[in-house]
Amino acid sequence: MARKRPSRRKGAHKRRKTQQRAAAQKKRSTQRPAAKGSGSSRAKGASRAARARPGTRAKRPARRYGRVLLALGMLALLSIGGYALYLSAEVRVAFDGKRWAIPARVYARPLELYEGAALTREQLRHELQILGYRHMRQPAGEAQWGDGNGRFVIHTRAFRFWDGEQPALRLRVGLSRGAVSSLSDERGRALDIVRLEPADIGSIYPAHREDRVLVRRADLPDHLVEALLAVEDRRFFSHHGVDPRGIARAFWANLRAGGVVEGGSTLTQQLVKNFILDPKRSLWRKINEALMALIVESRYSKDEILEAYANEIFLGQDGDRAIHGFGLAANFYFNRPLKELRLHEAALLVGLVKGASYYNPRRHPARALERRNLVIRQMQEQGYIAAETARLASALPLGVSAKGRGNEHRYPGFIQLVRRQLQADYRDEDLTSEGLKIFTTLDPWDQHIVAREVGAGLAEIEKARRIPGSTLQAAVVIASPQSGEIRALLGDRDAAYAGFNRALDARRPIGSLAKVAVYLSALAQPDRYTLATLVRDEPVRLELPNGNIWTPQNFDHEVHGRVSLLTALAESLNLAAVNTGLEIGVGEVVDTLEQLGAGEEVDAYPSALLGAFPLSPLDVTQVYQTVAAGGFRAPLHAIREVLDAQHQALQRYPLEVRRSVDPAAAYLLTTSLQEVVRSGTGRSLGRYLPASAGVAGKTGTTDDLRDSWFAGFGGDRVATVWVGRDDNKPTGLTGSSGALRIFGRVMRGLDLQPLTPLPPANIGFQWVEPASGLRSREGCEGAVQLPFVRGSEPAQGSACAGKDERGILHRLFGL
Amino acid sequence: MGKWGCDGSRPAAGFLAKPADRSNAGRSRIVLLCLVGMLLSACGSTYRQGEPAPVVSPGGTAAAPASPRRVEQSDSVEVSAYREPQTVALARPAPANRAVRNLVQRAEAQREAGEYAAAQASLERALRIEPENPDLWNRLAHLYLLQQSFARAEQFAAKSNSLLQGDDGLAADNWSVIAQARRAQGDAAGARQASERARVRR
């Protein structure tokens, strides 16, 4: 598996540019038929020896001379033969042992289409765009789509899913009011459910190395091969590895032009040079290259050589990623599979062979266009295409994908997560070279909205608060609450930035987000704590083990006395949380945090009750996922299946759930988190989402306003947002003036489903008087109806008796 | 334990086993028999001892019906054709959502063919559509039980229970899965407790 080839770095394209020039210069050496010649001279030598033996003894000196000659000839033959053997072995090692390093390709989740699936037009268009489907008035072939009268016509590509092949389909998809209203095949027969192929969202390639998508000979479109032959090697199918006529023609053409305009190097020679030889230019290397080209031709078929060439050729540089082969180049420049390229697109790729950097269509579109049209012209001149076809193709624009960078760089943060989760099970070299296919949970639409809203939201906050532009940073994680599948992940405000990933690696104090653990621990003891229990929002003065005195304060620096647990959480009162946490025991609270899935062990200091410990946004999302799923932790994951290069399933990462905290306590906590958003510190979320969404969430703010957090969930998404600065300086933002706004923008953009938590069987509802925590009844002034673990309702009744006025808050909790 | 109890040591009277079960009984141990549901009031579960619990079923890749055409064929699979019924008696209303219904049928066919990983994947697809559908979690619990992945079976059944509202038949079935899983994991006391809860729910 070890790849025996010189690693080519950024200089590769330069070398390639010089290649044609070199080819023209080396013709003299290559014209000498070397390897083939050795066979015939051996025959000659043998016959001379045969003749010499019966020769007369009269000419002694001559015979002696002849013997010396013979010996020298034998020696030369031996060494030439030996050298040919050596080269042949070298070729065999390089070609037979050739295994391209095929980086793992990473796919998004497939979009599931079925009647009732939430899907907007905008969303479906986005999906088709990242799939590289062409928008046509009349879709005719695979990977084309059209729309009209509220109906989409989509011709899909065949795709090998991990559980089987889905053939190409012709779908009719009706959309109305943000959902799929009908789904049928071309004959109008209704379909239950169909998944679109998953979008290719990137690859896992080693740093500073090459990336490629392997193609087979059969995958090479005819016009691509024709263009290649027309421009690079006209007589490819008739020469034996070296083309003297081509060299002569190139020499003549260059002479006439007064410079290098054409190369005489065959495809085989180019391949040999890339495969085997070191890049130093020398006559000796030229000779070797020609010899080896002859050997290659004798050992391998033209189709094999063509296939190897098509996968090896360097066609562009993308940051630290070298684009190798036509397969990846089609993705890179057109966001399409190779076989879907049209004539002018294939011609552009062939044009790049001469100099991928010089003719870079994104940087030098005019040059690229000229080169492409030259390729098309040559195809016409050599009779591959008609003049009219050539004229039409030459008139077309380059058609290079508009974004300039395709899907490869849209999801760097998520790909980092995928890579990290895979590293638990796979060796690095397997990921970067074995051609694995990784099917992930990424929802490109979620990711798109996150990227869009974080950019716009941070800019808006900076402007409104006169914060210097681009000083704020952010991280966002969105997951599915019940399954723990990660739908989107952003590690930098610039979604395309592939460096430090704050969603995974920025561990910051979580502040009041930790209060969920305090109150969950409390509510898990229904005989001691209910939502109506009055907790003490009273001053705290603690001597810590290191001798320091800890005197936490409320955000408003006031003391609120005895307040209901519900209010204490809704208003995020620090003193109430500390007092409650100390009553339960810090150890208990920290245990709860671990049950919820906080990744690191948290030290059981009292300050932990106020979140004075660092977690990453991913860890926080895990904690809130467990709450959102009613106490069932589903480990957050980004991968569903892994296939090997032959489409065999290597591994499936099945859904996992673990009952981690008491479902009744999780339910009570969830209703309190809804109260946070309805009336507490998270109420400004109402600017973004309607009250009917019933979002549950919690703000978090750390000392001196350094970190702004919001974690929350609706019916179908749980998400964490962090906003802060990389230098850890204060931002002036609270959880609600920073992260909450991003959360609101994102969830508004995603059409969050309403949250309607299901009360476990042991939950009942009871009217209570919040101020006193006493049992009340419907109609009493200020009475609210709260959920209780059955049997934990307050026993003592309030003063309200006999009256039947309905309290103004009687509709709390929708009841 | 009452006469309807789920005790693997003695097949309960009144167990409505299908012929296929009986033939299996010779080489496979009946671990648990439970009677649940409103109509037939019986559910039996069997598993083959020592049967591996494949994470990836090798045959599943090629045979799994992925195209809608293939799915239509799976519609015709009848309950009586099953060789290893798990939840024979549990009266399950067909899923209202046709996509979920399709995937559930597909999962059933895959389970019947022994393609457990594929069946799981189909149910997980269905769960992405209806994540709070307790029937789907229950089906996954049974699949794990079948593969002797007992800890998972217990968790999935508990998850199913947490999403239930007043479906005693399904609740009883979940408790019986939990009882089986606990017993298999050596937690006899926990198993008895769960069996009792299954009995109460019935």
| Per-residue pLDDT reduced to its tens digit, A111-145 | 999 999 999 999 999 999 999 899 999 999 899 99
Q: What is the rounded distance in angstroms from the CA atom of residue A641 to the CA atom of residue A660?
A: 26
Best residue of A109, A170, A192, A753 to probe chain B, by most B CBs closer than 10 Å:
A192
**In the predicted model, what is the mean pLDDT of residues B34-47?**
33
Of residues B164 and A429, the one with the higher pLDDT is: B164
Alpha-carbon Rg of chain B, whole angstroms? Answer: 16
Q: Which residues of B touch A652 (CB under 8 A)?
A: 55-56, 117, 120-121
Alpha-carbon separation of residue A179 from A115, A173, A695, B85, B127 (angstroms)? 8, 10, 22, 37, 18
Residues in chain A: 815
Is B95 at the interface with chain A, CB within 8 A? no
Q: Which two tokens stand for residue A289?
A: 């290259």
Contact B133, B100 (CB under 8 A): yes
The answer as to whether B72 is a domain residue is no
End-to-end CA distance of chain A: 66
Contact B28, B48 (CB under 8 A): yes
Burial class (CB in 10 A: 0-12, 13-18, 19+), B28: middle
Dihedral angle over CA of A325, A331, A336, A339, nearest 10: 0
Q: Which two tokens stand for residue A194?
A: 């169909």
Q: What is the rounded distance in angstroms from the CA atom of residue A198 to the CA atom of residue A200?
A: 6
pLDDT of residue A322: 87
Q: Which two tokens stand for residue A517?
A: 């653990």
Q: What is the rounded distance in angstroms from the CA atom of residue A613 to the CA atom of residue A609?
A: 9
Write down the mean pLDDT value for chain B.
68
Tell me: pLDDT of B22 over 60: no
The answer as to whether B86 is a domain residue is no
**In the predicted model, what is the mean pLDDT of residues A487-501?**
91
Split into its structural domains, chain B has a count of 1
Of residues A406 and A199, the one with the higher pLDDT is: A199
| Per-residue pLDDT reduced to its tens digit, B65-120 | 333 333 333 333 333 333 333 444 577 888 889 999 999 999 999 999 999 999 99
Residues linked to residue A490 through DSSP beta bridges, in sequence order: A476
The answer as to whether B4 is a domain residue is no
Task: Place A509 in a pLDDT band, splitting at 50, 70 and 90.
Answer: very high
Tell me: pLDDT of A593 over 80: yes
Sign, CA dihedral A375-A378-A382-A383, equals positive
Is B162 at the interface with chain A, CB within 8 A? yes
Full residue range of the structural domain in which residue B157 is found: 98-201
Specify whether the backbone of A479 is left (phi greater than 0), alpha (psi in -120 to 50) or beta: beta
Q: How far is A659 from chain B (nearest CA, A)?
A: 7
Tell me: pLDDT of A13 over 50: no
* Binary contact (B55, A651; C-beta < 8 A): yes
pLDDT of residue A779: 85
**In the predicted model, what is the mean pLDDT of residues A216-220?**
90
**DSSP code of residue A548:** -
Q: Are strands A321-324 and A473-479 parallel, antiparallel or unpaired?
A: unpaired
Q: What is the rounded distance in angstroms from the CA atom of residue A476 to the CA atom of residue A745?
A: 12
Q: Which helix (H) or strand (E) covers residue A561, if one does?
A: strand A561-564
**In the predicted model, what is the mean pLDDT of residues B25-45?**
34
* Binary contact (B99, A193; C-beta < 8 A): yes
Q: Are strands A473-479 and A718-724 parallel, antiparallel or unpaired?
A: antiparallel
Search chain B and give the residue with CA nearest A180.
B99
Tell me: pLDDT of B63 over 70: no
Instruction: Kindly report whether the global pTM for this prediction surpasses the value 0.90.
Output: no
Of residues A544 and B169, the one with the higher pLDDT is: B169
**DSSP code of residue B96:** S
Q: What is the rounded distance in angstroms from the CA atom of residue A788 to the CA atom of residue A569?
A: 16
pLDDT of residue B11: 33
Tell me: pLDDT of A159 over 90: yes
Tell me: pLDDT of B137 over 90: yes
Query: What amino acid occupies position A359?
Result: Y
Tell me: pLDDT of A811 over 50: no
Is A38 designated active site? no
Q: Which residues of B touch A650 (CB under 8 A)?
A: 56
Task: Place A600 in a pLDDT band, splitting at 50, 70 and 90.
Answer: low
Give me the interface pTM, i.e. the ipTM.
0.80
Q: Are strands A437-440 and A104-107 parallel, antiparallel or unpaired?
A: parallel
pLDDT of residue A261: 60
Catalytic residue, chosen from A88, A483, A512, A672, is A512
Q: How far is A141 from chain B (nearest CA, A)?
A: 19
**In the predicted model, what is the mean pLDDT of residues A259-288?**
75
Largest interatomic CA distance in chain B = 49
Is B96 at the interface with chain A, CB within 8 A? no
* Binary contact (B155, A164; C-beta < 8 A): no
The answer as to whether B113 is a domain residue is yes
Write down the residue that tokens 């410079």 correspond to.
A259
Alpha-carbon separation of residue B72 from A154, A184, A601, A732, B75 (angstroms)? 21, 13, 51, 60, 5
Least confident of A603-607, A623-627, A734-738, B27-31: B27-31
Of residues A216 and A109, the one with the higher pLDDT is: A109
Domain harbouring B168, CATH code: 1.25.40.10
pLDDT of residue A309: 92
- Smallest Cβ distance to B127: which of A115, A483, A647? A483
Least Cα distance to A698 among A623, A636, A587 occurs for A623
Q: Which two tokens stand for residue A759?
A: 């009360």
Catalytic residue, chosen from A197, A210, A232, A307, is A232
Q: Which two tokens stand for residue A305?
A: 């050589």
Alpha-carbon separation of residue A167 from A142, A194, A552, B5, B44 (angstroms)? 11, 11, 64, 49, 39
Least Cα distance to A518 among A576, A567, A598, A571 occurs for A576
Tell me: pLDDT of A247 over 90: no
**In the predicted model, what is the mean pLDDT of residues A295-301?**
89
Contact A610, A707 (CB under 8 A): no
Scanning B8-47 for CB atoms below 8 A from A yields: none
pLDDT of residue A402: 61
**In the predicted model, what is the mean pLDDT of residues B32-58?**
33
| Per-residue pLDDT reduced to its tens digit, A378-420 | 999 999 999 999 999 999 999 887 654 556 678 999 999 999 9
Best residue of B98, B123, B170, B201 to probe chain A, by most A CBs closer than 10 Å:
B98
- Smallest Cβ distance to A192: which of B98, B131, B156? B98
Q: What is the rounded distance in angstroms from the CA atom of residue A433 to the CA atom of residue A687?
A: 49
pLDDT of residue B74: 37
* Binary contact (B131, A482; C-beta < 8 A): yes
Least confident of A138-142, A478-482, A663-667: A138-142
Q: In what order do the strands lie in the sheet with A784-789?
A: A774-775, A763-769, A784-789
Contact A471, A493 (CB under 8 A): no
pLDDT of residue A546: 83
Tell me: pLDDT of B178 over 90: yes
Task: Place A167 in a pLDDT band, splitting at 50, 70 and 90.
Answer: very high
pLDDT of residue A97: 66
| Per-residue pLDDT reduced to its tens digit, A22-37 | 443 433 333 333 333 3
| Per-residue pLDDT reduced to its tens digit, A420-430 | 999 888 888 88
Is A512 designated active site? yes
* Binary contact (B99, A482; C-beta < 8 A): no
Q: What is the rounded distance in angstroms from the CA atom of residue A26 to the CA atom of residue A480?
A: 63
Least Cα distance to A284 among A83, A36, A39, A14 occurs for A83
Search chain B and give the residue with CA nearest A194.
B68
pLDDT of residue B194: 95
The answer as to whether B187 is a domain residue is yes
Determine the Cα angle at B90 with ends B88 and B93, to 5°: 115
- Using H for helix, E for strand and C for coil, what is the string for A284-312? HHHHHHHHHHHHHHHHCCHHHHHHHHHHH
| Per-residue pLDDT reduced to its tens digit, A42-72 | 444 444 444 444 444 555 667 778 888 888 8
Write down the mean pLDDT value for chain A.
86
Residues of chain A with pLDDT > 70, as a percent, come to: 87
Contact A336, A32 (CB under 8 A): no
Q: Which two tokens stand for residue A168?
A: 């190409």
**In the predicted model, what is the mean pLDDT of residues A496-513?**
93
Task: Place A208 in a pLDDT band, splitting at 50, 70 and 90.
Answer: low
Query: What amino acid occupies position A751?
Result: D
pLDDT of residue B46: 32
Search chain B and give the residue with CA nearest A190.
B68
Task: List the beta strands (DSSP E) in A637-745.
Answer: 639-643, 649-652, 658-659, 696-701, 707-713, 718-724
Alpha-carbon separation of residue A703 from A543, A600, A698, A709, A730 (angstroms)? 20, 21, 17, 12, 8
Backbone angles phi, psi at B38, to 5 degrees: -95, -30
Tell me: pLDDT of B135 over 90: yes
Residues of chain B with pLDDT > 70, as a percent, come to: 56
Alpha-carbon separation of residue B84 from A408, B25, B71, B149 (angstroms)? 47, 11, 21, 17
Q: Which two tokens stand for residue A466?
A: 């006169």
* Binary contact (B155, A169; C-beta < 8 A): no
Interface of A with B (CB under 8 A): 112, 114-117, 161-167, 169, 185, 191-194, 480-483, 485, 630-632, 641, 647-652, 654-659, 663, 716, 758, 760-761
Q: Which residues of A touch B128 (CB under 8 A)?
A: 112, 480, 483, 485
The answer as to whether B154 is a domain residue is yes
* Binary contact (B61, A114; C-beta < 8 A): no
The answer as to whether B70 is a domain residue is no
Q: How far is B56 from chain A (nearest CA, A)?
A: 6
The answer as to whether B141 is a domain residue is yes
Contact B68, A189 (CB under 8 A): no
pLDDT of residue A79: 86
* Binary contact (A161, B128; C-beta < 8 A): no
Size of interface A-B (CB pairs under 8 A): 111
3-state secondary structure of A172: strand
Dihedral angle over CA of A574, A580, A582, A588, nearest 10: -110
Task: Place A589 in a pLDDT band, splitting at 50, 70 and 90.
Answer: very high
